[in-house]
Amino acid sequence: MDFLDEMRAETKALREQVLGHPFVRGIGDGTLDAGRFRFYLGQDYAFLIEYARIVAIASAKSPDLATQARFASLLDATLNVEMDLHRRVCAANGIGPDELVATQPTLACAAYTQHLLSVAWTGTLGELCASLVPCQHGYAEIASSLAPATRPDNSYADWIVAYASPEYQELAEWICDLTDRLASEATEPEREAMRRAYVDSSVHELAFWDMAWAAF
């Protein structure tokens, strides 16, 4: 059994809670309160800023040029494409640039990014990748589960389409494949560290959705 197969089995309850979360279900059927979504967008922007730092560290830790280049490309896309798109989505939802820049991360958001940064700085590339999978692949899993029933008049259809897109799904599969490869090459202590990083991120991922839902 591959590393991520083991991890998904171990964290099955957490993943099911995310997929069935009222915030996620509200995106899927379009009933999510707009204020909750605006709050989530601001926190997600704060998360993305730190995520970009983590991707930069991943590029620096990459063992070969192809992996280094892929992370560098992801960093460029995050900073110069995704964040610009995020700013436009925020503006469309009533969050101006000044308000967005002034957004302070909640305790849940800060705890998540500090966990990821700690793993990135002190751990192996395998640990770093394992820590990113619950978010990276989690969004792909959420979107692919919601997309078949998404109505065109759903206010959140664009969000679902973005994460269900072939480009995002391929990125999620790439980081999963890389994580499994690094786990197969890891020593038992390194693999255990990867396991802890994955499980902790899974806990933080659910806490992030809980935070967004509890805001209003």
**Where does the pLDDT of residue 85 fall: very low under 50, low under 70, confident under 90, or very high at 90 and above?**
confident
| CA–CA separation, 195 and 186 (whole Å) | 12
In degrees, to the nearest 5, what angle opens at C-alpha 126 toward C-alphas 208 and 20?
30
Q: Which of 59-68, 83-92, 103-112, 188-197 has the lowest mean pLDDT?
A: 83-92
**Where does the pLDDT of residue 139 fall: very low under 50, low under 70, confident under 90, or very high at 90 and above?**
very high
Global confidence as pTM: 0.95
Domains and CATH numbers, the chain: 33-214 (1.20.910.10)
* The two structure tokens encoding residue 127: 């640990």
Q: Which residues are catalytically annotated? A: 135, 205
